[in-house]
Amino acid sequence: MSKLFLFAAPSGAGKTTIVRHLLNHYEDLSFSISATTRPKRPHETDGKDYYFLAPDTFKTLVKNGGFVEWEEVYEGLFYGTLKREVERLWGEGKHIVFDIDVKGAVNIKQAYPNEAIAIFVKPPSMDALRNRLTARGTEDEANLKKRLDRAEEELSYESRFDIVLVNDNLQEALTAAEQIIEDAIKPA
């Protein structure tokens, strides 16, 4: 049976690095490509990092029941998991890895309680988070503030997750993440 690994975290907690590592390490894992209305960043590819959609297209999909879940993650910016994406990966017999916000993870867990494992990637502190986001250099001042405000709220969701993975030392976090995958997919 395919598992759904839901990785959620405040922006800058190192979740994307962990998710990428796992996808490179295990060929039975596939990434659930989300849809978003956020503008594409220069290093990103449409159909690989996200399905970049116009706001009207996103709205139509919402209206037609095309999403398993969707959220306005930042003001005016929508993100969602397409039903057809989950079905596509399920059809390939893969375990699916999601890089998603905390509310989305809680919603997917509700939709697939038997298959989903919700993993909360936690930064060691808010200061560490601020430093990582600043070092990444992808956000301007206003966006940085938006992301930090949201991170504070997201940290309060921790108790609703199956597993908390503290990303203090990246190497240790990667090893712990591998263990989570192996425990979940090893033959009974």
Q: What is the CA radius of gyration of the chain?
A: 16
Scanning 57-65, 67-75, 117-125, 172-180 for contacts with ligand 5GP by CB under 6 A, the matching segment is 67-75
34 near ligand 5GP, rule: CB under 6 A: yes
| Nearer residue to ligand 5GP within complex by CB, 11 or 30 | 11
101 near ligand 5GP, rule: CB under 6 A: yes
Q: Are 109 and 116 in contact (CB under 8 A)?
A: yes
81 near ligand 5GP, rule: CB under 6 A: yes
30 near ligand 5GP, rule: CB under 6 A: no
Tell me whether strands 163-166 and 4-8 are parallel, antiparallel or unpaired. unpaired
Shortest approach of ligand 5GP to residue 105 CB, angstroms?
8
174 near ligand 5GP, rule: CB under 6 A: no
Shortest approach of ligand 5GP to residue 22 CB, angstroms?
15
Q: Which residues of this protein are in contact with ligand 5GP, per CB under 6 A?
A: 11, 34, 38, 69, 71, 73, 79-81, 99-101, 104
